[in-house]
Amino acid sequence: MHDKSNRTALVDSPWDDFHGWSVRVYYEDTDAGGVVFYANYLKFMERARTEWLRSLGVSQQELSKQKGLVFVVSSLSMEYKAPARLDDLLTIQSVISDIRRASLNFTQRITLQDKVLARGQIRVGCVDINTMRPAAIPPDLYKRISSTSQR
């Protein structure tokens, strides 16, 4: 079990070691102006966080079934810098900026080649699926997450 003060901060140069996941922009992702609809960036980022967990050997479905835990977004802030368009191949880069007993802070950015199109700070909480109250991240998962954010 973790004490309440236990947390790990991100390394000084976070973008040296990020998890990357790519997605192609389809027609359904765009708005009437021909650019990606702003809320779809959040969907791309959600998928990237799921793939990051999967890269650690964690299935959110199994976490829910076996331990009765889910991750939920508790807060986020976004900054949009430039639009993405139909057929663009985007990369969503994700790093853990902070880990606490029952929550993770992600810093994510969406890039097209080397250009940053959007960036966000997302806090996800680990909650008990039955009570929807905060719950400690399981120790084995906490350790895996901590080790990836300290590389």
**Mean pLDDT of all residues in 64-78:** 97
Please write the tens of the pLDDT for every residue from 37-66: 999 999 999 999 999 999 989 999 999 999
Say which residues have a Cβ less than 8 Å from residue 75's Cβ, sequence separation at least 6.
Answer: 122, 123
Q: What DSSP line would sit under 46-60, residue for residue? A: HHHHHHHHHHTT--H
What tokens were used for 76?
């986020």
Catalytic residue among 16, 17, 29, 31: 31
Which pLDDT does position 2 carry in this prediction? 41
128 catalytic residue (yes or no): no
In the chain, the domains with their CATH numbers are 8-149 (3.10.129.10)
Largest CA distance in the chain: 50
Share of the chain above pLDDT 70, in %: 87
